[in-house]
Chain A
Amino acid sequence: MSLKLSKKTPAVHGHVERKSQETKGDKVVAGVSHTMLGLWSLMVLIPLLWTLMSSFKTTSEIFASPFSLPKVWQFKNYVSAWNTAGIGLYFFNTVIVVGFALVIVMVLGSMCAYVLARYVFPGHRIIYYLMLAGLTFPIFLAIVPLFFILKNMGLLNTLPGLIIVYVAFALPFTVFFLFSFFKALPGEIAEAAQIDGAGEWRTFFQVMLPMAKPGLASVAIFNFLGLWNQYLIPVAINTDPQKKVLSQGIAAFAGQQGYAVDFGSLFAASVIVVVPVLIAYIIFQRQLQGSVSAGTMK
């Protein structure tokens, strides 16, 4: 539709008009674009706002009408979700597991990526393909043997067991992403550090790692999201009620809702799970959107 209009050559008298003018076609296109994107944004926002609103309603209010505002704002839904439904405990477990797993996978993953990017040695390509396999094979293929490996090691239903499995499965993505990052860093700097007397460890931790900071931040954010949201692994290998993480805890809570109905608390629990991640996203959104683009450069 803008095709014809944009073909019209603007009159140029002496000087070139640098300021962009909006043509009629532009306005139509912008209008249509805003409408469609606006509709999509509503599609995204309405379910979330509805969840937020319902989290303050009593169960009978929820059943009465999906639209009515709560008569009294039921903050006690949050208290009961946190205490009775155990969301507080699960939250604590999740923070421990994801925190440790994230730090460990970042350290191990960057070490591994650094060696792969800087040195060529026999078996180099095999490691590369093993990592690729870890990225493409479905986790479901591994889940049964994994269960028994942990059982034999005595790590089944323990937080350390969960942490080490999280680390292992986050490793291929971390290594792949950081590999290209370390590859791009100038090798001369590492050589200079070594000539100045720095050992391998010191070269890595004090010279090379700080230079890879932007890449590390991106990978850390994606790993955080992935691990925080992980569901299958904990459901399979971490079934002790006291050690549940948020995702499985809230799923179990939703599962028993059919019998003991407290929908207000269920909505409140959902809000509790979403809010920390959403806040982290809004704070880091520039970084995250930047890293999506970095991820596509591969």
Chain B
Amino acid sequence: MVVFLGLPLAIYLVFVISPFVQAMYYSLTSWSGFNDKMPFVGFDNYVKLFHDDIFMLSVRNSIILAIFLPVITVILSLVLATLVTIGGSSRGQIKGLKGSGFYRIVSFFPYVIPAVVIGIIWAQIYDPSSGLLNGILTGIGFDGLKSYPWLGDPRTAMIASMVVIVWGFVGFYMILFIAAIKGIPAETFEAARIDGAGRFRTATTITIPLIRDNIQTAYVYMGILALDAFVYMSVLNSTGGPANSTLVMSQKLFTTAFSKSQFGLACAMGVVLAAITLLFSALVFLVNRITGGKQDVSE
């Protein structure tokens, strides 16, 4: 039994937990990584970070992602999941939309594609001259957008990047919500129908309250992902985009550590990122609790 628990736990402690703890200590030093000297500097790194305009910009960009990505992804996937599950006949047995298997399989595709490849494909789609997007747009008459650099203009770079991430995750959450909705007993829907509730009413007052926990989980996961966003952002715009408009904390941390060797400072960024992540999760739980997440809808 000791081996059963001990071996996995040892690996976990050495490679996951101990780095977390060490990072918190390193964040208080001005360590460069090349020698054993780790001058203790207290909270200097944090002070430095809050006076670093580019880092604060990256914090802002990360927070923008954490605000918009979960909302957009969850709403879009919830709408699609609702269409699949209650688009069926209003007579007889409660049924989903006919022939929706195809949509479910296709929608899930982006989730199985490596994030790097999603980034590469979309960088090509956004390409000003030979990209698919401008090809389609000029094809239908928007000639003004000919060779418009979607990722190269500070006004659109962030939005264009968000579209990519949403594209990558809507299908996954759609499948998750479909599964959750199917877990609701059919009697509940039948009762609602007998009481005269139409589809829209059923969706807003029965389905959504009943899968509230799933929505909360999805929201938190998507937020954590948005605060990371490293792969997408660094593949779409490796240097942080025009005027740093798509630079996120994770990218800044990575270059600070592995290009500039300011390991103490990078660890401080990691701590800030972790704090924001925890704060985000706590906020979502709190809002859900305040707005009545634990109320029993069947009452």
Contacts and interface: CB of A to CB of B under 8 A. Distances in A.
Contacts of B124: 51, 54, 263, 266-267
A259 interface: no
Secondary structure type dominating chain B contacts:
helix
Secondary structure type dominating chain A contacts:
helix
B98 interface: yes
A20 B89 contact: yes
B19 A146 contact: yes
A228 B117 CA distance: 12
B198 A168 contact: no
B84 A33 contact: yes
A80 B197 CA distance: 60
B16 A40 contact: no
Interface string B60-83: 000000000000000000011001
Interface stretch (A71-79, A190-198, A271-279): A271-279
B19 A22 contact: no
Given A63-B130, A141-B270, A40 B107 contact: yes
A273 B114 contact: yes
Contacts of A273: 114, 116-117
Interface stretch (B5-13, B44-52, B291-299): B5-13
B55 interface: no
B88 A25 contact: no
B83 A36 contact: yes
B158 interface: no
A127 interface: yes
A44 B106 CA distance: 7
Given A7-B196, A112-B5, A274-B114, A254 B23 contact: no
Nearest to A65: B135
B123 interface: yes
A37 B116 contact: no
A133 B18 CA distance: 12
Interface residues of A, number: 110
Contacts of B196: 3, 7
Contact of A274 (B12, B102, B113): B113
Contact of A144 (B113, B119, B123, B263): B263
Given A23-B91, A296-B183, A149 B121 contact: no
Interface of B: 1, 4-5, 7-9, 11-20, 22-23, 26, 33, 79-80, 83-84, 87-93, 95, 97-100, 102-117, 119-125, 129-132, 134-135, 139, 167, 170-172, 175-176, 179-180, 182-183, 193, 196-201, 214, 217, 224, 227-228, 230-231, 234-235, 238, 249-250, 253-254, 257-258, 263, 266-267, 269-271, 273-274, 277-278, 281
5 shortest interchain CB distances as A-B pairs? A20-B92, A293-B179, A3-B198, A33-B87, A168-B15
Interface of A: 1-3, 5-7, 10, 18-23, 25-26, 29-30, 32-34, 36-38, 40-41, 43-48, 50-51, 54, 62-67, 108-109, 111-112, 114-116, 119, 127, 130-131, 133-134, 136-149, 164-165, 167-169, 171-172, 175, 200, 204, 225, 228-229, 231-232, 235-236, 246-248, 250-251, 254-255, 263, 266-267, 270, 273-274, 277-278, 280-282, 285, 288-289, 292-293, 295-297
